[in-house]
Amino acid sequence: MKVYYDFHIHSCLSPCGDNDMTPNNIVNMAVIKGLNAIAITDHNCGENAQAAIDAAEGLPLTVIPGMEIETSEEIHMVALFENVSQLLKMQDIVMANMPPIKNKPAIFGEQIIMDKHDKIIDFKEQFLITACGLNIFEITKKVRELGGVVFPAHIDKTSYSVLSNLGSIPDELEFQTVEVKACPVPQNIVDMANLNKYNILCNSDAHYLWDISEKEHYIECNSPDIKDILHNISLYI
Ligand SMILES: [Zn+2]
Ligand SMILES: [Zn+2]
């Protein structure tokens, strides 16, 4: 079956994410748009994932718990997990390697943690949009050890991407999948990164409700279950 997706969406937990990116608003917007599966991927943190999963209960939408991790090389990586417990283990690893900087909400924006009813239950103190101390190799290894799937984010961006910061996608990481923001991918990027050998996901990297993808991009899966989706996008080794 075709699973229409958007696997890179920020909630109000990301300081740069709009405060209207609440669990219920995201989930309902995805359903209105006709998507079958989304992932919540806040910067270096996964604490709104459970609320979004709960908010989608009874709706025809799969919500995958994830996060967008910034490596020590300032490369953004999307990590997706089968369950929130794996995600929070990864968050612990990332947090233990973050510089101890507190968020300044007035400057960077609030980092809001919500429950499934969009009620504010906390504000994350640790400043989330900064690099952690683990490099792309370490992050990739840790995510896979936990059973997650990881792929380089928005490789067509001129900053915070594996291409902008390393110049190429290291073969030894054995990625099968990469993410782009713009589809179709410009030919110069296809050539530069030898993209023909990868599966390409086109995600929105939405920070505002209206940025969430339309029903445009799909992957073929046996079912819309998280396991099948992750298997499909992770075909590494
Ligand atoms: Zn990013
Ligand atoms: Zn992002």
Q: What is the CATH number of the domain that holds 26?
A: 3.20.20
**Any domain includes 153:** no
Give me the pLDDT at residue 115, please.
98
* 160 CA from centroid of ligand 1 (Å): 6
**Any domain includes 84:** yes
Total structural domains in the chain? Answer: 1
β-pairing, 120-123 vs 112-114, is antiparallel
Judged on CB neighbours under 10 Å (0-12, 13-18, 19+), 196 is exposed
Q: pLDDT for 78-111, tens place per residue?
A: 999 999 999 999 999 999 999 999 999 999 999 9
β-pairing, 2-9 vs 37-43, is parallel
Give me the pLDDT at residue 188, please.
85
* 10 CA from centroid of ligand 2 (Å): 6
| Least distant ligand from the CA of 10 | 2
Cis peptide before 170 (omega within 30 of 0): no
**Any domain includes 155:** no
Give me the pLDDT at residue 187, please.
87
Q: What is the mean pLDDT of the chain?
A: 95
* 135 CA from centroid of ligand 2 (Å): 18
Q: pLDDT for 53-71, tens place per residue?
A: 999 999 999 999 999 999 9
Give the confidence band of 234 by pLDDT, cuts at 50, 70, 90. Answer: confident
**Any domain includes 89:** yes
* 167 CA from centroid of ligand 1 (Å): 17
Task: Name the maximum alpha-carbon separation found in the chain.
Answer: 47
236 has pLDDT over 70 = no
CA distance 82 to 93: 17
**Any domain includes 174:** no
170 has pLDDT over 90 = yes
**Any domain includes 163:** no
CA distance 15 to 110: 5
**Any domain includes 20:** yes
**Any domain includes 44:** yes
Give me the pLDDT at residue 4, please.
97
* 115 CA from centroid of ligand 1 (Å): 24
Closest CA to 40 of 23, 15, 20: 23
48 has pLDDT over 90 = yes
Please give the average per-residue pLDDT across 208-213, as a whole number.
Answer: 98
- By residue count, the chain amounts to 237
Q: What is the extent of the structural domain holding 31?
A: 2-148+202-225
CA distance 114 to 108: 19
